Structure 1
Amino acid sequence: MVAKKLVTVVGATGAQGGSVSETAKALAARGVEVVRADLTDTAALKAAFAESFAVFAVTNFWGLFSAAQKQFPEEKDVASLAGHAAAIETQMGINMVDAALATDTLQHYIWSTLTDAYTVSGGRIKPPHYESKAQVTRYIQSKPELLAKTTFMWCAYYATNFASLTRPIYVPATGRYIQIQATTSNQPIACIGNTRSNFGTFVEAALVQPDKTRGGQTVFAFVERTTLGGLLRTWAEAHNVKATYIQISRETLFSSWPMEVQEYTNGMEFWDMIRDKEWTGKDSLLTYSDLGIDVTTLKSVKDSFSELELQSLRKGWNSGDERWLDCI
């Protein structure tokens, strides 16, 4: 009888972790133990990781950013709030790395991260929600014993972004929806579609092909490459409506939208700057074709969009809205 291997999933109820492990309630119903661990407590993490064969680790910048706004309601400087959230996120990531280093049974560590925007852009742009994860990645790279067991995982653009920050707005006078952004409609973008349905397939593929994915290799999880304008067209087709992409200045956009839009736009400006260049800065990326994943069996971007509720003009979105936590 083959011994069971323990896979520990951080954030099992979130969009990424939920895709890896389903929701905690469903897991508990199947007899899987659900353990709460404070990511700021390294000792608790060591206990949670004990006996693990593999660990999937993820942090949530946007939840921390939302919490920072509530903690400091008088603070209007987005960079300050984002920096506060980023510092906490980085420490959480480092704590998980330290816990992983103390887990002698560990054979595979999967860190859900983002590209090192500052390095790849030659220092031209440094979005806090990218830098916070990149610092953890660099920390892992400084630990050869863990790097040898590590896969870096990038999750592409969530379809659920269209249900919150980038939600198309209906204009009754024209009978069309408009989507307002600060970057161009021809900006290249990769999309994972329905994160909860699709992302776990990439993590599973990484786990069962360790010789290909460990050693600091990067897996880029997406089901379709397109442009920002292409995403909007697909969304419109999914709902059988008409939609127009409108680019405005970042200053105008920032003056009218929640704080999250500034941090989000920093990330979009990085992708617009880099476009089709090598995003890791030096190493190649492993995609679905490298991992033998048939993306036609996954939920398409169009089908993912069709699951989202059409929002009326009256249904606005505000900073602190919990829907944000399932996006980006």
Structure 2
Amino acid sequence: MTSKRVIAVFGATGAQGGSVARAILESKSFTVRALTRDVTSAKALALQNLGAEVVQGDLNDEASVEAALRGAYGAFVVTNFWEHHSKEKEVCQGKMVADAAKRLRLKHVIYSGLENVKRLSGGKLEVPHFDGKGEVEEYFWSIGVPMTSVRLSAYFENFLTLWKPVKASDGDYYTLALPMGDTPMDGISVADIGAAVLSIFSFPEKLLGKAVGLSAEALTVQQYADLFSKSLGKEVRDAKISPEAYEKLGFPAAKEIANMCRFYQMRPDRDVKLTYCLNPNVRSFSQFLEENQGALQGI
């Protein structure tokens, strides 16, 4: 009996990597090699209990990455810009993995990528947490690594934290502040990414060498607000904030998110129909809110 092919999953104890690792483990169609910096953490041990091979892997340590990829069929690669806020560092990490994948002749890498907004906008917009991933996408393909780039939409989970409705100062209602105007914004729950990635690994021939935009649905800010109103039993309205006003809110990533929304208003390619083909159980925003009632209690 031949052993199952190994998929190395980067960031296996994080949101994206964890979703991918669990989906593959549940399918039992591949062996999961879960990469994490701390193999003794509770999340690492939980993956081990589910059947994963947990190994030490640090994107800042080339030797550990090479060791973790050796003998693997494929890999799911995710980098975390928000950990260090450095586009240059993210590009360096991504290229290092690409070089190792090339040397070790991996058959299929799925990279959690995004568009290079700076290049696409002719330098008019900079969204560092997109731009670096865009550079890495291009590098993977340029050196001939068999790679599928999965470009995600805005996380529904952000609506429980950074984008949650805020009580209005001048009335008994709440506002949702995202500078999207009346343009729909694609979204997806990070928990639903894993099953889609598993489908791409399982049937690589159609999507190898391509970029795939994942989305559960695209809603306007007012439609997101209406679903919040229904779920919370409280009126939620679109704050109708402009990108210029959003930039002035004062928190560290305000300008970056404003530019991200300017890019989203250009409607980058996100394919709802394909997403449902890859994961028929992907959740709508309404279902997501229903499942996360506990997290909404503080609103």
Give TM-score, length-normalised by structure 1.
0.77
Residues 121 and 93 of structure 1: CA distance in aligned 2, closer, same or farther (over 3 Å): same
Question: Match of 2:65, SS?
Answer: helix
1:96 corresponds to 2:97: yes
Shift of 1:99: 1.4
Q: Report what 2:194 is aligned to.
A: 200
1:223-257 deviation per Cα after TM superposition (whole angstroms, max 9, x unaligned): 11222322222232222321011123445433334
Pairs within 5 Å for 1:1-328:
1-22=1-22, 23-65=43-85, 85-104=86-105, 106-144=106-144, 146=145, 149-171=146-168, 174-184=171-181, 186-192=182-188, 194-196=189-191, 198-214=192-208, 216-272=209-265, 274-275=266-267, 279=268, 288-289=273-274, 292-293=277-278, 295=280, 297-306=281-290, 307=292, 309-310=295-296, 312=298
Residues 256 and 126 of structure 1: CA distance in aligned 2, closer, same or farther (over 3 Å): closer
Q: Is the 8 A contact 2:10 2:17 kept in 1?
A: yes
RMSD: 2.2
Higher relative contact order (CA closer than 8 Å, sequence separation 6+) = 1
Question: Match of 1:233, SS?
Answer: helix
Aligned residues: 277
- Which stretches in structure 1 are left out of the alignment for 5+ residues? 66-84, 314-328
Q: Distance in 2 between matches of 1:7 and 1:287?
A: 26
Question: Match of 2:55, SS?
Answer: coil
- Which stretches in structure 2 are left out of the alignment for 5+ residues? 23-42
Q: Distance in 2 between matches of 1:164 and 1:238?
A: 16
Q: Distance in 1 between matches of 2:8 and 2:118?
A: 31
Q: Which amino acid aligns with 2:187?
A: C
Question: Match of 2:278, SS?
Answer: coil
1:58-93 deviation per Cα after TM superposition (whole angstroms, max 9, x unaligned): 01111222xxxxxxxxxxxxxxxxxxx111111111
Q: Which amino acid aligns with 1:177?
A: Y
1:116-164 deviation per Cα after TM superposition (whole angstroms, max 9, x unaligned): 22333343322111111111112112112x1xx1101011111111122
Q: Which amino acid aligns with 1:43?
A: A
Q: Is the 8 A contact 2:216 2:275 kept in 1?
A: no
Q: Distance in 2 between matches of 1:238 and 1:53?
A: 44
